[in-house]
């Protein structure tokens, strides 16, 4: 294959044109749509010496408003306006200069019906997180473009590519839906062309190309459509803060300030508090926001208006192209915060019901709350971000189940963490998890205690949050207690031909694994149809004697959901009179997940053993 063709394969797949002109190497976005809320469209055009040429176009309803030339001679920025008269079809862009003019076709498409009003994920949903390289392999042999520098390695190497792909993920969508999950979040699938550790996807070398090791662009669109047919929405993981060092921009920056430049390599301080600290030194804030995440992840300068617009249009493009129900944004607070305010506002204006969840990895509720839409902040900062990952409550949940109870430890930490919901504009939009791809496996952190694991999951499913579950936890994956990404992101058993153990079929699972998988299936299938956990109000009671209790309810209804987490090893008697606001007049108790409920006699619940009890109380 000639050397140029591999780099263009993904671009051709995206139908930039029927026959790509050799002089125009790339246009991004690869295509666009008429009828968007924002009529402006900015094209980043790349080609050798193209900045010396004069672009023009003639198309009904489309106007070339302005042309920007950047620092590199190999880029042009075209600012178009798509008026209401613009129609789907092909435009012809012309670039005049020395010698023959260059011409390039560009496609405008019709939006899918109802696209703008798509329903994003929310409290009615439960998210299943997968690392695609480690989940399942559906196509063992692939012909890969020559420019990819890391091939599939051995599954015995935790840092290598293991070969999981979109075909494998598609083959097991029925399993994910059958477990009760209604949203799928894969870690990034766009091309990552690093020499090592490229499987994780967080160092993009092409924002618009699905990594060929996962499959084709068409496979990704098929994943979205097939998941949607099963009642499962697709959430795309998008990185705004940085790119991979192998991105083509790093060989030819469109402008010198395209990435944040320092006299020598300068890493971010990771000092999240510096952005909110009223006493912070400006240099500390700059170091956090503009320092590079790692030496292999150059930090994008979102204060450059073209960079900011590129990232915004790229995000919108994927929502429209793949029919997404949401976006998960990695390393959210590390990006320029003024850019983030504009980025979230633009996406929510285009898709008012979309959901976007940001990763702000902080144990402090005040820091997480700062970024949520509707929050009145001390410095006047206003965000349009609907959701955030709830790291503070996650930490409190694990502490509650591993620490001895006291006035400030154990269940008291969970109670107090949840009581901080007064800081959030919309606590029900926070995404709660017991573990994810960046943390040790929660079963290991809970000292491999199945009862504690069930308590954690029952709380996730019952409290006022959007639960996120990490693949493999249903079959009790373990890992070192300290962060070890390769071990945490272990291959799903049954995802590869020849696996003796198969989590999808149940073959070879231990009794404990089968029991946990069945519990997860019952829990999240129940949650899928229970309106009290989707929109009910919440009341919690102070923990006592090793027991924590919360209720979900609607004021106009007598029916109540009661969650009891019991850490006591022996039989525990729980008097319902202790919860008068929630139990007066309610005399019947049944297990929400099926099976026998704790015995109720003379107003006293008898809990037979340590564990989680999800109960429905009726008149």
Question: What does the DSSP assignment read for 279-347?
Answer: T--HHHHHHHHHSBSBTTBPBB-TTSHHHHHHHHHHHHHHHHHHT-SEEEEETGGGS-HHHHHHHHHHH
Q: Which residues contact 147 (CB under 8 A, 6 or more apart)?
A: 6, 7, 193
Q: Round to whole Å and give the CA distance between 82 and 34.
A: 7
CA atoms within 13 A on the CB side of 571: 7
Nearest C-alpha neighbor of 136 from the set 158, 161, 169, 159: 169
How much helix, strand and coil, in percent to the nearest 5, is found in the chain?
A: 30, 25, 45
Task: Check: CB of residue 148 under 8 Å from CB of residue 198.
Answer: no
Give the DSSP H or E segment for 397. helix 391-402
Catalytic residue among 150, 336, 359, 473: 359
CA dihedral 136, 138, 143, 149 (to 10 degrees): 0
Our answer to whether residue 619 is catalytic in this structure is no
> What are the residues facing 236 on neighbouring strands?
327
Task: Check: CB of residue 111 under 8 Å from CB of residue 34.
Answer: yes
3-state secondary structure of 240: coil
CA atoms within 13 A on the CB side of 143: 3
Our answer to whether residue 473 is catalytic in this structure is no
Catalytic residue among 133, 206, 330, 336: 330
List residues with catalytic annotation.
330, 359
């Amino acid at each position: 294959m000639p050397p140029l063709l591999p780099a263009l394969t993904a671009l051709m797949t995206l139908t930039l044109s029927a026959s790509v002109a050799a002089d125009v190497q790339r246009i991004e976005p690869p295509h666009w749509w008429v009828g968007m809320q924002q009529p402006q469209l900015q094209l980043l055009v790349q080609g050798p010496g193209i900045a010396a040429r004069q672009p023009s176009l003639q198309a009904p309803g489309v106007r070339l408003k302005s042309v920007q030339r950047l620092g590199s001679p190999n880029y042009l920025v075209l600012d178009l306006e798509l008026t209401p008269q613009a129609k789907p079809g092909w435009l012809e862009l012309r670039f005049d200069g020395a010698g023959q003019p260059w011409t390039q076709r560009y496609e405008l498409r019709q939006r899918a019906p109802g696209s703008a009003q798509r329903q994003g994920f929310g409290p009615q949903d439960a998210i299943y997180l997968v690392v695609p390289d480690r989940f399942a392999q559906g196509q063992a042999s692939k012909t890969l473009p020559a420019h990819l520098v890391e091939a599939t390695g051995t599954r015995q190497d935790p840092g290598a590519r293991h070969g999981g792909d979109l075909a494998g993920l598609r083959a097991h969508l029925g399993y994910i839906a059958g477990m009760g999950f209604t949203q799928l979040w894969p870690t990034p699938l766009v091309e990552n062309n690093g020499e090592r550790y490229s499987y994780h996807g967080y160092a993009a070398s092409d924002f618009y190309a699905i990594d060929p090791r996962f499959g084709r662009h068409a496979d990704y669109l098929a994943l979205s459509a097939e998941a949607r047919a099963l009642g499962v929405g697709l959430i795309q993981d998008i990185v705004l803060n940085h790119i991979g060092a192998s991105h083509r921009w790093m060989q030819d920056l469109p402008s010198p300030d395209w990435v944040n430049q320092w006299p020598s390599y300068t890493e971010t301080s990771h000092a999240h508090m510096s952005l909110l600290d009223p006493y912070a030194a400006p240099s500390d804030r700059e170091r956090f926001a503009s320092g590079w995440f790692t030496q292999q992840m150059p930090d994008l300068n979102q204060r450059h208006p073209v960079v900011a617009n590129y990232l915004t249009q790229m995000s919108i493009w994927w929502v429209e192209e793949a029919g997404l129900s949401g976006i998960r944004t990695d390393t959210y607070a590390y990006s320029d915060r003024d850019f983030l305010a504009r980025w979230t506002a633009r996406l929510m204006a285009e898709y008012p019901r979309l959901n976007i969840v940001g990763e702000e990895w902080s144990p402090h509720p005040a820091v997480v709350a700062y970024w949520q839409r509707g929050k009145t902040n001390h410095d006047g900062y206003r965000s349009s971000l609907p959701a955030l990952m709830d790291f503070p409550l996650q930490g409190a949940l694990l502490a509650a189940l591993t620490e001895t109870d006291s006035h400030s430890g154990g269940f008291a930490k969970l109670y107090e963490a949840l009581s901080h919901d007064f800081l959030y504009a919309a606590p029900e939009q926070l995404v709660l998890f017991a573990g994810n791809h960046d943390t040790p496996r929660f079963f290991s952190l809970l000292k491999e205690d199945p009862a504690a694991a069930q308590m954690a999951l029952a709380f996730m499913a019952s409290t006022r949050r959007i639960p996120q579950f990490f693949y493999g936890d249903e079959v009790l994956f373990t890992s070192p207690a300290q962060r070890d990404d390769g071990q945490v992101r272990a291959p799903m058993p049954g995802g590869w031909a020849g696996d003796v153990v198969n989590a999808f079929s149940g073959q070879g699972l231990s009794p404990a694994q089968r029991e946990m998988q069945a519990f997860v299936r019952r829990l999240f299938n129940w949650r899928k149809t229970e309106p009290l956990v989707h929109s009910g109000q919440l009341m919690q009671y102070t923990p006592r004697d090793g027991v924590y209790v919360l209720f979900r309810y609607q004021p106009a209804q007598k029916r109540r959901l009661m969650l009891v987490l019991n850490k006591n090893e022996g039989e525990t008697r729980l008097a319902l009179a202790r919860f008068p606001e929630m139990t007066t007049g309610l005399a019947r108790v049944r297990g929400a997940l099926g099976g026998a409920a704790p015995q109720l006699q003379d107003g006293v619940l008898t809990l037979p053993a340590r564990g989680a009890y999800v109960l429905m109380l009726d008149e």
